[in-house]
Amino acid sequence: MTTIAVVSAGLSEPSSTRLLADRLAASTVAALDDDRTGGPTRVVHVDLRPLAHEITDAMLTGFQAPALAAATAAVVEADALVFVSPIFTAGMSGLAKSFLDVMDKDALADMPVLLGATGGTARHSLALEHAMRPVFAYLRAAVVPTGVFAATDDWGTQGDQAALDGRIRRAGADLAWMTRASRRSAQDADALPDVPDFASMLGGLGH
Q: What is the pLDDT of residues 13-38, one digit of tens each?
A: 888 999 999 999 999 999 998 765 66
Nearest Cα neighbor of 82 from 29, 34, 39, 126 is 29
Q: What is the pLDDT of residues 165-197, one digit of tens each?
A: 999 999 999 999 999 998 876 544 444 445 555
CB 132 within 8 A of CB 84: no
Regarding predicted confidence, which is higher, 132 or 200? Answer: 132
- Does pTM top 0.75 for this prediction? yes
Amino acid (one-letter) located at 95: L
Nearest Cα neighbor of 150 from 47, 15, 16 is 16
Label residue 159 by pLDDT band (50, 70, 90): low
Nearest Cα neighbor of 155 from 20, 56, 30 is 20
C-alpha to C-alpha distance for 166 and 147, rounded to whole angstroms: 12
Q: What is the pLDDT of residues 44-81, one digit of tens each?
A: 999 999 999 999 999 999 999 999 999 999 999 999 99
Nearest Cα neighbor of 133 from 144, 122, 124, 123 is 144
Nearest Cα neighbor of 8 from 99, 123, 127, 70 is 99
Q: Would you tell me how many other CB atoms lie within 10 Å of the CB of residue 181?
A: 10
The DSSP line for 59-74 is: HHHS---HHHHHHHHH
pLDDT at 203: 56
Label residue 134 by pLDDT band (50, 70, 90): very high
CB 144 within 8 A of CB 175: yes
